[in-house]
Amino acid sequence: MKQEARCHSRECCEVSVSRRMSAIRTLFLAVLAVGTAGDLAAQAPDHLSVGERLARLFSWEVRDTERRLERLAGDLEGLPVLRNGPSGSRYGFHSGTIFDQQEENWVQIDLGTSSPIDCIVAMPVHIPTIETAGEGYGFPLRFKIEVAENAGMKDAVLVVDRTAADVANPGRYPMVFRLAGTAGRYVRFTTTKHAPSKEGFMWAMEELMVLSGNRNVATWATFTGVTASNQLELYPNWALDRINDGQSTLGMPVTVEPSPTNGYLSALSEQEMSGKWLVIDLGREFRIDEIRLLQAESDDDEVVGGRGFPKKLAIELSADPGFENVVWHGEDTSTVLGYPWGSPFVMQCEGKLARYLRVEAQILWARVDQHSFALAEVQAYAGDENVALGKPVRVLDATDRPGSDRWSPEFVVDGYTSRHRLTEIPDYLELITRRGTLEKEQIILRDRRDHKVRQVATTLTVGGGSLGAMALLGWVWMLTRQRTVRRRAVAELREQIARDLHDDIGSNLGGIVLLSEMGSRHSGIDHQVRSDFEAIKRAAEETAESMQDIVWLIQPGSLGLQQLVVKLRKSVEMIVGTLEVSVTIDPTGFRNRQLSLLFRRHVFFAFKEALNNIRRHSMATRVEVHIAISPTRLAFTIRDDGVGFDPQATGTSGHGLTNLQRRAKRLKGTCRLESAPGHGTTVFFDASLNS
């Protein structure tokens, strides 16, 4: 019995030890889980809610989706962007009311001559004012495309067939149909099922492009070469010839590489009809098929809003530089051409043999009473090659105003618009369709992530009976609560410091300014004492101004990129407002984003320091400030026309370059200074928005 008792006691001991070891293992795993949760919570972005943080912790799907979304955001930064809807009142082609949804309707384009066809592009209408229905407005549900050599479409070749099932609405992005071994003179787009409308059915399209190599041969093929079975003429919004006028939300065929130049800008003229011109020497004779003029998009006063593009123009080709024998002449047939609205203005030239190309601005737009002629780029295509690229240019006159270094005649053939590097239309379409594909994936992934977050939150809230899960949830909540309390405490401290600076120190500085001003006016003091009082007053005023800047930097609330740019512009007026000042922002419609205090502080004080150097040392009469913003960087250039100096001879520490470079380095950027005696000074400062 004793032996049995001992055995039973030993078994109980072993069970007890086993249970203790299991409890220790459970506790270890719980601690490990808590530690992992802490790591993930620390790595989570600050803007995430508690539910999103928990989803990141418990769901590998959410973590993988967010990593993919981050990669997508990076890929999208390297792709061009469509314009957000039409410019002006132009929408495209609109059918009349159709009462049978499956009654065939068509539009037909006469290319003028039989051409090889590599690609057909259907560009949907985008009307941003009609909420989501404005994307792909009226795009046909089913359609087909045929190519033929005769207007009656006898023996037509069916090249695209989307009649078997409804087509998903393409939204804002083009539908691109690549063809092989197809040629013809007539292209017919036939709809077989239409979009519902208030009174029946209809269909609409912004642009129908027919690409032969690098050229859209449908653009202005002939002004009478477009026919339709049913159309709505509501000019200027909707018209039949809108479908191939070359104007669409695709805009100019560019990459995201920024342009170092603006293009060509003439001297100002007081006359509307001044006959300004430019001539390009192509170097030898080419058979010119197409000429494209690209509108300047600078914010400079002379061309702001695109007004450098002529109201009326003429284009000529000749074999001789004096244009005594003009082999081709083209001009707009309307009274006023108007803007090309951010798309190339195209003229077909019928393959004329020529060496010289002349563009004459017959009627100029004006800004107030000053007229000018400007173009970002002129292209002349012989087949698929732009033979005007890099060729010599001569002009009637060119701007010579200070600060116009981005304008020059040779920049009209340098391969850039005023914004970006140009590319060929087929390459651009690949970039744009790639962007459309990535944006669709982005939308799907965001929906998937949000659904999973809700699912995890529901599971944890409703079905979370596990003590470990509840403890973990409480721990994460406590972390979030502590972080919120710390943020609130920091915000309150910032607010208290800002209030103290403004009320106490600001009041004392104001008293010093007042007393020193009264002292300097006292009649019984000598000149030296009066000078001392005035020096004290200036020092107090400058200190008060600096203190206000510090208060602005540390004030509570979110200060984003837009607020920083506004503050920079105001600083220009405060510091060098007595001089002639020009401030440009590129682009003007940049997207706002949050900035760290470190970034705001270093950029703002570097900007002020550069301006103060101009005020104190430069003896300048004019200051030009250019602020450039990209998705990842902010840069400013400050140029003056002052006395300048030799940086190598005098060193640069006295001009603050060392301090500016130190600030730029803190922001993963660069700073450099260019100057020469008698030629002013230029400061370049660049910083990463993600620093």
Q: Which of 117, 121, 215 is nearest to 173 (CA)?
A: 121
- pLDDT at position 606, please? 92
- Segment 430-443 shows an average pLDDT of 95
Q: In this structure, which long-range contacts are made by residues 496-504, counting pairs with CB atoms below 8 Å and at least 24 apart in sequence?
A: 497/554, 498/551, 498/554, 498/555, 498/556, 501/547, 501/550, 501/551, 502/547, 502/548, 502/551
Most confident of 159-163, 348-352, 564-568: 159-163
Kindly tell me if the per-residue pLDDT of 399 is higher than 90.
yes
Please state the rounded mean pLDDT for residues 184-212.
Answer: 95
The confidence score (pLDDT) of residue 153 equals 94
Question: Which of these ranges, 60-69, 219-228, 354-363, 576-585, has the smallest mean pLDDT?
Answer: 219-228
Above 50 in pLDDT, residue 34? no
Distance CA 364, CA 371 (A): 6
pLDDT band at 375 (very low <50, low <70, confident <90, very high): very high
pLDDT tens sequence across 108-141:
999 989 999 999 999 999 887 766 667 899 999 9
Using DSSP's 3-state secondary structure scheme, residue 55 falls into helix
The shares of helix, strand and coil residues in the chain, as percent rounded to the nearest 5, are 40, 30, 35
Rounded to the nearest 10 degrees, the angle between the axes of helix 467-500 and helix 527-554 is 160
Q: Which residues contact 25 (CB under 8 A, 6 or more apart)?
A: none
Could you tell me if 95 and 242 are in contact, meaning their C-beta atoms sit under 8 angstroms apart? Answer: no
Q: Which range scores top for mean pLDDT: 168-182, 459-473, 533-547?
A: 168-182
d(CA 591, CA 560): 10
Out of 196-210, 394-408, 431-445, 593-607, pick the least confident.
593-607
- pLDDT, position 42: 43
Alpha helices in 329-370 (DSSP H): none
Q: What is the pLDDT of residues 222-247, one digit of tens each?
A: 555 899 999 998 877 899 988 998 88
Quick one: DSSP state of residue 194?
Answer: -
User: Does the reported pTM lie above 0.75?
Assistant: no
Q: Percent of the chain, pLDDT > 90?
A: 48
Q: What's the CA gap between 293 and 377, in Å, rounded?
A: 6
Q: Using an 8 Å Cβ cutoff, are 371 and 274 in contact? A: yes
Average pLDDT over residues 256-283: 93
The Cα–Cα gap between 189 and 92 comes to 15
Query: So what's the pLDDT on residue 84?
Result: 76
Distance CA 434, CA 176 (A): 11
Which amino acid would we find at residue 348?
Q
Mean pLDDT: which of 45-59, 124-138, 354-368, 505-519 is highest? 354-368
Mean pLDDT throughout 299-317?
A: 86
**What phi and psi values does residue 400 have, to the nearest 5 degrees?**
-130, 20
> Per-residue confidence at 146, pLDDT binned at 50, 70, 90?
very high
Interacting residues of 560 by C-beta distance below 8 A, sequence separation 6+: 592, 593, 594, 595
Poorest-pLDDT segment among 147-161, 166-180, 193-207, 463-477: 463-477
pLDDT at position 517 over 90: no
Is pLDDT at 204 greater than 70 in this prediction? yes
**Residue 4: per-residue pLDDT:** 47
Burial class (CB in 10 A: 0-12, 13-18, 19+), 45: exposed
- The pLDDT of residue 372: 92
147-183, pLDDT tens digit by residue? 999 999 999 999 999 999 999 999 999 999 999 889 9
Position 26 pLDDT exceeds 50: no
- The residues that bridge with 326 in the sheet, in sequence order, are 318
Identify the pLDDT of residue 162: 97
Nearest to 244 by CA among 186, 160, 324: 186
